[in-house]
């Protein structure tokens, strides 16, 4: 990172920072309904070598970007001004400054091993890497949860993606060996030990290689549907409905909104059940919760696709204790909880099933719960 920084910017960086991608164990499409989520940070991260600049210029280069240095005056940053990948880090600088943080110019060189558009949250990793680097370069008093909110604001307001806060909270606040149990209404969170290897289990991530595009309006439509249902029920958010109140609520809603509400209510309950199991160390019991979550995303929320359904079905048939798509949907990745001795068989079975169906070969890797955004050099 240091050498590449010097090659591009002709100077020595002040340090190197990293922020991870994430997989969500359970709690999908709950974060914009004020609900619960349970992500882990991945070992894969966006790294950034950085130094401050005194001339108020922001220079950005990514090894995974467009092979040009984007050079912008920080004073001129405003939503709509920056297009393409540079909008994510530029948006973070804008959000920090708009919140009153004294951030000036910087040179930032990004390198990453988080696959983009795979549902593993490379965008939040890019934002949070930028934010931790600027926090330290400009000695900002910026606790991780506040950093996450500003990163989300950058993505919402500057890039124009109406994402919830889970991805940025995971990238900023996760710790090694733990899942982050997050209440997205209160932003209260707790580290829940997640070391499946201690019980002979592995968490496989299956990247289906189907690129989702959350900008295509489908996500916004789902979000709007959930908000309309809450308003019709007189609730601040669907978080305020529980399983006991569900049948009466469904009677009051137009039929097209019922399945959305059923997913959100049942998914919040699955998160709470998952946390209770992990607290007791009963990791294997998590499997059926994952699979039930997938069925709900497939049948009620209707955000799965042929590839994610095939990966889940094949993984379970080949010995996984449970599996589900993770991330916003329309492709992306699947997580599967698998006894270690079955991990190779599951990976092979999924690869074979994809080949037989004519799908692009999936990429399978084992996920460990890694640390959140941090300085590394």
**Alpha-carbon span 95 to 36, nearest angstrom:** 25
What does 117 bind: Mg ion, ligand ADP, none (CB cut-off 5 to 8 Å by kind)? ligand ADP
User: Quick check: 117 binds ligand ADP (CB under 6 A)?
Assistant: yes
Residues 203 to 242: which contact ligand ADP by CB under 6 A? 214
Sheet holding 322-326, edge to edge: 322-326, 333-339, 201-207, 363-367
Residues 6+ apart with CB under 8 A from 143: none
Judged by CB under 6 A, which of 4, 116, 156, 175 binds ligand ADP? 116
Measured from the CB atom, the residue of 308 and 342 that comes closer to ligand ADP is 308
Strand partners, 364: 206
Q: Catalytic annotation on 136?
A: no
Q: Which stretch binds ligand ADP (CB under 6 A): 61-69, 184-192, 224-232, 242-250?
A: 61-69
User: Quick check: 123 binds ligand ADP (CB under 6 A)?
Assistant: yes
What does 112 bind: ligand ADP, Mg ion, none (CB cut-off 5 to 8 Å by kind)? ligand ADP
Answer for the pair 120, 81: CB distance below 8 angstroms, yes or no.
no
**Alpha-carbon span 229 to 249, nearest angstrom:** 9
Measured from the CB atom, the residue of 123 and 296 that comes closer to Mg ion is 123
Measured from the CB atom, the residue of 121 and 152 that comes closer to Mg ion is 121
Q: Considering the complex, what minimum distance in angstroms separates the CB of residue 335 from ligand ADP?
A: 14
Query: Distance of CA 36 to CAs 136, 236, 266, 337, 360, Å?
Result: 30, 15, 11, 20, 33
Answer for the pair 291, 312: CB distance below 8 angstroms, yes or no.
yes
User: Quick check: 193 binds ligand ADP (CB under 6 A)?
Assistant: no
Judged by CB under 6 A, which of 1, 16, 46, 210 binds ligand ADP? 46
User: Quick check: 301 binds ligand ADP (CB under 6 A)?
Assistant: no
Q: Considering the complex, what minimum distance in angstroms separates the CB of residue 306 from ligand ADP?
A: 19
Q: Which stretch binds ligand ADP (CB under 6 A): 62-70, 241-249, 284-292, 308-316?
A: 62-70
Judged by CB under 6 A, which of 24, 44, 121, 314 binds ligand ADP? 121
CB count in 10 Å sphere of residue 373? 31
SS3 label, residue 143: coil
What does 105 bind: Mg ion, ligand ADP, none (CB cut-off 5 to 8 Å by kind)? none
Catalytic annotation, pick one of 34, 167, 207, 300: 167
Q: Considering the complex, what minimum distance in angstroms separates the CB of residue 327 from Mg ion?
A: 8
User: Quick check: 166 binds ligand ADP (CB under 6 A)?
Assistant: no
Locate 193 and state its tokens.
């030990």
Q: Considering the complex, what minimum distance in angstroms separates the CB of residue 87 from ligand ADP?
A: 8
Strand partners, 107: 51, 59
Locate 150 and state its tokens.
């500003």
Q: Could you tell me where the beta strands, DSSP code E, fall in 92-212?
A: 105-112, 178-183, 188-193, 201-207
Query: Distance of CA 90 to CAs 61, 123, 146, 321, 325, Å?
Result: 11, 12, 18, 42, 31
Question: What one-character DSSP code corresponds to residue 282?
Answer: -
Q: Which stretch binds ligand ADP (CB under 6 A): 98-106, 108-116, 261-269, 275-283?
A: 108-116
Judged by CB under 6 A, which of 9, 36, 61, 85 binds ligand ADP? 85
- Any idea of the CA torsion for 59, 63, 66, 69, to the nearest 10 degrees? 20
**Alpha-carbon span 148 to 127, nearest angstrom:** 9
Q: Considering the complex, what minimum distance in angstroms separates the CB of residue 156 from ligand ADP?
A: 12
Q: Which residue is nearest to Mg ion (CB)?
A: 123
What does 126 bind: Mg ion, ligand ADP, none (CB cut-off 5 to 8 Å by kind)? ligand ADP
Measured from the CB atom, the residue of 19 and 353 that comes closer to ligand ADP is 19
Q: Which of 192, 200, 338 is nearest to 276 (CA)?
A: 192
Measured from the CB atom, the residue of 88 and 181 that comes closer to ligand ADP is 88
Beta-strand relationship, 105-112 and 57-62: parallel
User: Quick check: 162 binds ligand ADP (CB under 6 A)?
Assistant: no
User: Residues interacting with ligand ADP, by CB under 6 A?
Assistant: 46, 62, 64-65, 85, 88, 110, 112, 116-123, 126, 214, 327
Q: Which residue numbers are catalytic?
A: 167
């Amino acid at each position: 990172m240091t050498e590449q920084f010097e090659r591009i910017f002709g100077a020595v960086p002040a340090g190197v920072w990293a922020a991870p991608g994430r997989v969500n164990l359970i709690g999908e499409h709950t974060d914009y309904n004020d609900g619960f989520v349970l992500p882990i940070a991945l070992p894969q991260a966006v790294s950034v070598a950085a130094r401050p600049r005194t001339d108020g210029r922001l220079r950005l280069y990514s090894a995974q970007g467009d092979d040009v240095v984007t050079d912008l005056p920080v004073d001129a940053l405003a939503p709509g001004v920056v297009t393409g990948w540079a909008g994510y880090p530029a948006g973070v600088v804008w959000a920090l400054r708009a919140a009153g943080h004294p951030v000036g110019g910087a040179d930032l060189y990004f390198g990453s091993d988080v696959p983009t558009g795979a549902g593993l949250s490379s965008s939040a990793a890019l934002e949070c890497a930028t934010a931790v680097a600027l926090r330290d370069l400009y000695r900002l008093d910026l606790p991780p949860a506040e950093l996450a909110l500003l990163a989300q604001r950058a993505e919402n307001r500057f890039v124009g993606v109406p994402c919830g806060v889970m991805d940025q909270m995971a990238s900023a606040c996760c710790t090694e060996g733990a899942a982050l149990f997050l209440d997205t209404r209160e932003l209260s969170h707790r580290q829940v030990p997640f070391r499946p290897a201690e019980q002979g289990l592995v968490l496989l991530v299956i990247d289906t290689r189907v690129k989702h595009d959350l900008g295509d309006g489908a996500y916004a439509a789902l979000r709007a549907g959930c908000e309309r249902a809450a308003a019709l029920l007189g609730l601040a958010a669907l978080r305020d409905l529980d399983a006991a109140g569900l049948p009466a609520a469904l009677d009051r809603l137009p039929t097209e909104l019922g399945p959305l509400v059923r997913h959100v209510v049942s998914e919040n309950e699955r998160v709470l059940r998952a946390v209770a199991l992990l607290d007791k160390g009963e990791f294997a019991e998590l499997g059926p919760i994952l699979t039930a979550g997938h069925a709900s995303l497939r049948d009620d929320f209707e955000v799965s696709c042929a590839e994610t359904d095939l990966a889940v079905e094949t993984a379970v048939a080949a010995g996984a204790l449970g599996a589900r798509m993770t991330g916003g949907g329309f492709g992306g990745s699947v997580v599967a909880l698998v006894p270690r001795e079955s991990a190779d068989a599951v990976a092979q079975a999924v690869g074979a099933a994809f080949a037989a169906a004519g799908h692009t070969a999936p990429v399978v890797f084992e996920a460990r719960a890694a640390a959140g955004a941090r300085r590394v050099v």
